């Protein structure tokens, strides 16, 4: 990279007017890498410097005569963590405010500074706390960081985490999502508005200082961990009865009309929402809740499953049965949502072989079959109900060999239409009393699989990532499978070595299920496109990138999916489009129809 930097520097020098400090910083980093005598200057500071100069000192920037080709080369060279946008979109994770929880799982953290199951030292949680859990502030902050890291942020996937989404008041849900859209719509002028919002929280008497927040929950945290106070009562006292949080809550309300205004503005905004994810529980999946979630613009639902074994669920105080899980899968699929489930190994009461059997059921039985999986090993966190069982020897974490055995087996039986998005939680090692602390667990799993010639076909393992794509070498592969309520087709563009460049999920609901189930938003004879995704480096809207995006691969997949549905007797096809892709689907002939966009197949 240093040689490329010097090449760019020489080109800038030849054009004249280059800021001396910028030159010195680049040279310093180059020399430090070769001699070790010069102080290190992090490359993450160079790109923000360049972007700030372009924005705040256009005269100096124009004197450099940086054309689009040179700027592209410079940004690619200085980009930090390029894998962040290698899946085709830039993701922004936000956290909802601390709130009561409708469950009390044995292994779940009880950090009163966070929504249930999250810990204050997790990266996204730290960002949320610094921003008073305000959605506008969180998006503004993260968007600025991604831009300074050199990432294209035209297409954004918003991931909303924080326990069970439907536990929050409906007006808060609408306000939270409205503010996410507003932050993206106002991105170019958001900094001033963000400062006003920060002052509002300060004037309300709230702090975002770590020490203050630790003090704020200290007594209640001790009482919860000793059993003298319930988690929900503590949350009510700290957040619903606190004057500062009551002041904040007073503005955290909105209606669907206000949300729709921001959504319409986002359809042609510079930063468009191409995916919106919320997190909830299977027993909260109802037609009524899904209708609201869809009106919010949601396209994917994360759902905590953890296990399909009724005994294990009961032993871990999960409070959910397999009937609720099966029904949740059915409704999510018919509504068109991408189904992203959380599944855990090493739960209390389980063992290595039972974990393998349980996961096999998840990815092979027609009642389940998720689209994505977060496959977590259970870790012991201080203050959870699992601690006593660990201390008296009734639960122990798997050894590294046992854990790898489970995860390699699970990865190897995962179908090619399922993506394992994670294998660890972002829990800091000092928060883990016992269990896996290695952040490279996924790499360890993949290395063991390679060493034992164990094939892995799940999507994330096969993504083309930042590699260039030769469209002429791609072939179309169609994988059919059946669920209890639909016939599914997974259409994928693959390279000669099996890498995946793009895919489409087509769902053809069984007409008898649709006809017999009340309150569904779709009717008999309507197929559903649940996801279209093209991998590769993010290409800006209306521009061609270096990867697979904007090569027409998505449009071809949609045409093929329409032909398949038509040949199967379906008269219409819906797409669960995100707000930022409505324009794209309109250009293909889809029109607004209730919760979706629709096109006749006649």
The tens digit of pLDDT for each residue in 164-177 reads 999 999 999 999 99
**CB neighbour list of residue 515: distance below 8 Å, 6 or more residues apart:** 524
CA angle 224, 230, 235 (to 5 degrees): 90
- DSSP track, 96-115: PPP---S---TT----TTSS
Separation of alpha carbons 5 and 27, rounded Å: 9
> Cα dihedral sign for 300, 304, 309, 311?
negative
Q: Which residues contact 255 (CB under 8 A, 6 or more apart)?
A: 171, 174
Q: Which of 417, 463, 87 is nearest to 274 (CA)?
A: 87
pLDDT of 13 reads 53
- The predicted structure's pLDDT at residue 88: 62
Q: Is 351 exposed, middle or buried (0-12, 13-18, 19+ CB in 10 A)?
A: middle
- Average pLDDT value over all residues in the chain: 89
| Maximum alpha-carbon separation in the chain | 75
Contact 162, 118 (CB under 8 A): yes
Contacts of 327 (CB under 8 A, 6+ apart): 282, 285
Distance CA(7)–CA(232), nearest Å, equals: 59
Q: Quote the CA–CA distance of 260 and 394 in Å, as a whole number.
A: 52
- Indicate if the pLDDT at residue 2 is higher than 50: no
Prediction pTM value = 0.87
Distance CA 141, CA 143 (A): 6
So what's the pLDDT on residue 489? 98
- The closest of 320, 319, 315, 397 to 351, measured between CA atoms, is 397
Cα distances (Å, whole numbers) of residue 575 to 88, 146, 504: 19, 29, 11
Q: Are 83 and 536 in contact (CB under 8 A)?
A: no
Q: Which two tokens stand for residue 368?
A: 């389940």
pLDDT of residue 367: 98
Q: What is the pLDDT of residue 9?
A: 56
Nearest CA-CA partner of 377 in 405, 427, 411, 343: 343
Candidates 338, 274, 352, 266; CA nearest to 302 is: 338
Q: For residues 469 and 18, what is the distance between their CA atoms, to the nearest angstrom? A: 35
Q: Write the pLDDT tens digit of every residue in 507-538.
A: 999 999 999 999 999 999 999 999 999 986 54
List of E strands, 78-192: 90-95, 155-161
Is 77:5 a contact under the CB 8 Å cutoff?
Answer: yes
Q: Is residue 28 predicted with pLDDT exceeding 70?
A: no
Number of H helices, E strands in the chain: 24, 16
Q: Which one has a higher pLDDT value, 251 or 70?
A: 251
Burial of 144 (0-12, 13-18, 19+ CB in 10 A): middle
pLDDT digits (tens, 9 = 90+) for 360-409: 999 999 999 999 999 999 999 998 999 999 999 999 999 999 999 999 99
Token pair of 418 as six digits: 């399922």
Whether 27 has a pLDDT exceeding 60, the answer reads: no
Name which residue leads in pLDDT, 70 or 438: 438
pLDDT (0 to 100) of residue 50? 66
For residues 151-155, give the mean pLDDT.
87
pLDDT band of residue 41 (cuts 50, 70, 90) is very low
How confident is the model at residue 538, as a pLDDT?
44
**Distance between CA 331 and CA 485 in Å, rounded?**
9
Task: Locate 309 and state its tokens.
Answer: 């074994």
* CA quadruple 446, 94, 109, 428: dihedral sign: positive
Q: Could you tell me the pLDDT band of residue 432, with boundaries at 50, 70 and 90?
A: very high
For the residues 492-499, what does the mean pLDDT come to? 95
Instruction: At 583, list the tokens.
Output: 């324009």
End-to-end CA distance of the chain: 55
pLDDT, tens digit, 9 for 90 and up, residues 546-577 = 555 556 899 999 999 999 999 999 999 999 99
Q: How many whole angstroms separate alpha carbon 537 and alpha carbon 143?
A: 17
* 95-127 per-position pLDDT tens digit: 999 999 988 899 999 999 999 999 999 999 999
pLDDT in tens, 192-240: 999 999 999 999 999 999 999 999 999 999 999 999 999 999 999 999 9
Q: What is the pLDDT of residue 303?
A: 97
Q: Provide the pLDDT confidence category of residue 429 given band limits of 50, 70 and 90.
A: confident
Cα distance between residue 94 and residue 97, in whole Å: 10
Find tokens 């209306």 and name the residue: 542
> What's the pLDDT at 83?
52
Q: What is the CA radius of gyration of the chain?
A: 25
**Is residue 136 over pLDDT 60?**
yes
**451-488 pLDDT per residue, tens:** 999 999 999 999 997 667 788 899 999 999 999 999 99
489, β-bridge pairs: 480, 506
Output the pLDDT for position 455: 97
User: Which of 247, 290, 285, 235 has the alpha carbon at shortest distance from 96?
Assistant: 235
User: CA dist 545 to 79, 157, 211, 463, 536, Å?
Assistant: 15, 18, 45, 17, 9
The answer, yes or no, to whether residue 544 has pLDDT greater than 50, is: no
Q: What percent of the chain has pLDDT over 70?
A: 83
Using the predicted structure, report yes or no on whether residue 581 has a pLDDT greater than 70. yes
State the pLDDT at residue 333: 98
Residues in the chain: 602
Which range has the worst mean pLDDT, 61-70, 518-527, 536-545? 536-545
């Amino acid at each position: 990279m240093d040689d490329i930097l010097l090449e760019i520097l020489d080109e800038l020098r030849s054009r004249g007017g280059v800021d001396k400090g910028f030159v010195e910083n680049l040279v310093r980093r180059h020399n430090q890498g070769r001699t070790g005598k010069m102080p290190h200057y992090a490359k993450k500071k160079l790109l923000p410097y360049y972007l700030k100069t372009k924005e705040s000192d256009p005269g100096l920037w124009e004197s450099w005569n940086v054309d689009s080709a040179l700027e592209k080369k410079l940004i690619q060279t200085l980009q930090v963590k390029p894998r962040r946008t290698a899946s085709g979109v830039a993701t922004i994770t936000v956290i909802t405010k601390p709130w009561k929880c409708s469950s009390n799982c044995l292994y779940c953290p009880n950090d009163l500074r966070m929504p249930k199951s999250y810990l204050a030292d997790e990266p996204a949680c730290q960002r949320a706390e610094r921003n008073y859990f305000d959605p506008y502030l969180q998006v503004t902050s993260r968007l600025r960081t991604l831009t300074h890291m050199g990432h294209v942020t035209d297409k954004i996937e918003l991931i909303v985490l924080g326990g069970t989404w439907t536990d929050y008041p409906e007006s808060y849900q609408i306000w939270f999502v409205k503010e996410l859209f507003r932050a993206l719509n106002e991105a170019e002028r958001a900094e001033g508005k963000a400062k006003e919002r920060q002052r509002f929280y300060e004037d309300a008497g709230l702090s975002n200082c770590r020490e203050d927040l630790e003090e704020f929950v200290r007594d209640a945290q001790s009482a919860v961990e000793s059993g003298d106070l319930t988690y929900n009562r503590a949350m009510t006292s700290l957040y619903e009865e606190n004057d500062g949080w009551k002041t904040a809550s007073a503005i955290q309300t909105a209606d669907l009309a206000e949300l729709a205004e921001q959504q319409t503005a986002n359809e042609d905004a510079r930063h468009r929402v191409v995916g919106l994810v919320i997190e909830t529980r299977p027993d909260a999946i109802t037609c009524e809740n899904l209708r609201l979630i869809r009106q919010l613009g949601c396209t994917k639902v994360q759902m905590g499953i953890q296990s399909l074994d009724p005994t294990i669920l009961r032993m871990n105080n999960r409070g959910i049965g397999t009937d609720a899980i099966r029904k949740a899968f059915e409704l999510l699929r018919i509504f068109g949502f991408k189904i992203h489930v959380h599944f855990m190994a090493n739960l209390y009461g389980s063992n290595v072989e039972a974990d393998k059997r349980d996961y096999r059921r998840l990815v092979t039985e027609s009642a389940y079959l998720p689209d994505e999986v977060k496959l977590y090993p259970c870790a012991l966190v201080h203050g959870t109900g699992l601690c006593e069982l660990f201390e008296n020897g009734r639960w122990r974490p798997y050894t590294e060999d046992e854990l790898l055995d489970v995860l390699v087996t699970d990865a190897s039986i995962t179908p090619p239409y399922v993506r394992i998005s994670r294998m660890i939680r972002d829990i800091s090692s000092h928060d883990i009393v016992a269990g896996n602390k290695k952040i490279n667990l996924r790499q360890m799993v993949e290395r063991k699989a390679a060493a034992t010639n164990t094939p892995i076909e799940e999507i994330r393992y096969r993504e083309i990532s930042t590699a260039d794509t030769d469209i002429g070498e791609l072939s179309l592969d169609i994988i059919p499978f059946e669920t209890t309520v639909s016939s599914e087709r997974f259409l994928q563009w693959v390279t000669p070595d099996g890498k995946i460049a793009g895919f489409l999920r087509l769902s053809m609901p069984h007409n008898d299920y649709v006809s017999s189930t009340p309150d569904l938003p779709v009717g008999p004879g309507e197929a559903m496109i649940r996801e279209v995704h093209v991998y590769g480096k993010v290409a800006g809207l209306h521009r061609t990138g270096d990867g697979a995006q904007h090569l027409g691969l998505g449009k071809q997949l949609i045409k093929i999916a329409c032909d398949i549905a038509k040949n199967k007797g379906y008269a219409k096809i819906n797409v669960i489009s995100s707000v930022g892709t409505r324009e794209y689907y309109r250009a293909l002939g889809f029109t607004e129809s209730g919760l979706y966009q629709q096109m006749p197949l006649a």
